[in-house]
Amino acid sequence: MSSEPDILFPVSQYYKPHRKSDWNYGGPRWRLSRSKIDLFVACPRCFYIDNKLGTARPPGYPFSLNVAVDKLLKKEFDIHRAAKTPHPLMKAYQLDLVPFQDSRMDVWRENFKGIEVSHTPTGFTVSGAIDDLWVDPKGMVHVVDYKATAKDAEVTLDAEWQDGYKRQMEVYQWLLRETGLAVSDVGYFVYVNGKTDRAAFDGRLEFDIKIIPYEGSADWIEKVLKDIKACLQSDLIPEVGTSCDYCTYRGAVKTVLEKSIPAKQASPLVAVKGKKTNDENKGLFD
């Protein structure tokens, strides 16, 4: 789907590469979110530059249709939450579950708030915002995450890039257990797949909806939290991520600039408006 030209340019206005120190590690507003944990797993170097040095990766464009699907699914399941009844999808998949009721659900589902727990060994406040929770007759809670796509193939969790989805589920399971809830290892992905085989658009999209169970294991989280603590406490920038496109880009930029710019010409890394100087940037492109 193409984007309108006037949508492309304003996005850069919202990217603030050098945020206030309050939001960096050690600042009063810093939190270790679920997405930051995943960033560390993907690339410790990018994580360090973001959380210790205060320069985040440029954000991607928002998936507006996915957000709309997410909102509508939440409204739909909230109807059954209030009525304490199973959703038809639960019946179709023979799941003896109903949407979970808790006074904290609205906060837990809100971005930039979510579930917050204090992790004593590291001193971190760890957070994450869930999509939904379901509960069985014994009171065991199951984490639910909504996903949306549009492809001809059957939706699965088999692709390597979907390992991030699985880690996401496992972090939510860990967070909720830290609050004292009894949480099942089995979570569910409600996967919505837009149909592309229709004869015409006609102003509407139709979807297939599939529930995919996933048995998670949060055993890796404690070690990763300790590794994150050691990373943030260090004065050494981690090595370049071998599978990180952002690190690859920075390395490519360094190479092309060294070849293209005369030595006496002012460096493109000169500080702008009192921001990072060349010496401060030294090492980021190595």
- What's the whole-model pTM score? 0.85
Measure the CA–CA gap between 251 and 198, rounded to whole angstroms.
45
Q: Is the dihedral of CA 81, 86, 89, 90 positive or negative?
A: positive
Other beta carbons within 10 angstroms of residue 33's beta carbon come to 19
Tell me, what's the pLDDT at 77?
96
pLDDT in tens, 41-71: 999 999 999 999 999 998 877 677 788 889 9
Does residue 194 contact residue 93 with C-beta atoms inside 8 Å? no
Tell me, what's the pLDDT at 37?
97
Q: Which of 12-21, 28-37, 89-98, 272-281 has the lowest mean pLDDT?
A: 272-281
